[in-house]
Chains A and B, each alone.
Chain A
Amino acid sequence: MQALYAQLLVGLINGSFYALLSLGLAVIFGMLNIINFAHGALYMMGAFCAYFLLHLTGLGYWPALIIAPIVVGIFGMILERTMLQWLTGLDHLYGLLLTFGIALIVQGVFQNYFGSSGLPYAIPDELKGGMNLGFMFLPIYRGWVVVFSLIVCIATWYLIEKTRLGANLRAATENPTLVRAFGINVPRMITLTYGLGVGLAALAGVLSAPINQVRPLMGADLIIVVFAVVVIGGMGSIMGSIITGFALGVIEGLTKYFYPEASNTVVFVLMVLVLLVKPTGLTGRAA
Chain B
Amino acid sequence: MAEAPAKAAGTQVLSVENLEAWYGESHILHGINFNVNAGEVVTLLGRNGAGKTTTLKSVMGIIGKRTGSIRFNNEDITRAASDKIARMGVAFCPEERGIFASLDVRENLLLPPIVRPGGLSLDQIFELFPNLKERLNSQGTKLSGGEQQMLAIARILRTGARFLMLDEPTEGLAPVIIQQIGHTIARLKSEGFTILLVEQNFRFASTVADRYYIVEHGKVIDGFANADLQANMDKLHTYLGV
Taking beta carbons and an 8 Å cutoff, which residues of A are in contact with B?
164, 167-168, 170-171, 173-175, 177-186
Contacts and interface: CB of A to CB of B under 8 A. Distances in A.
Contacts of B6: none
Contact of A182 (B102, B107, B159): B159
Contacts of A168: 111
B240 to A, nearest CB: 28
Nearest to B115: A183
B62 A180 contact: yes
Interface of A is mostly: helix
Interface size class of B (residues with CB under 8 A): 20 to 34
Interface of B: 60-62, 81-83, 85-87, 91-92, 94, 98, 100-103, 107-108, 110-113, 115, 156, 159
B113 A175 contact: no
A24 to B, nearest CB: 19
A173 B102 CA distance: 9
Nearest to B98: A178
Contacts, number: 63
Contact of A171 (B61, B87, B111): B111
Contacts of A179: 111
A170 B110 CA distance: 13
A170 B83 contact: no
Nearest to B156: A182
17 contacts: A167-B103, A167-B110, A167-B111, A170-B107, A171-B100, A171-B107, A174-B101, A175-B100, A180-B86, A181-B82, A181-B83, A181-B85, A181-B86, A182-B83, A183-B87, A183-B159, A186-B83
Given A171-B111, A177-B62, A182 B86 contact: yes
B189 to A, nearest CB: 22
Contacts of B108: 171
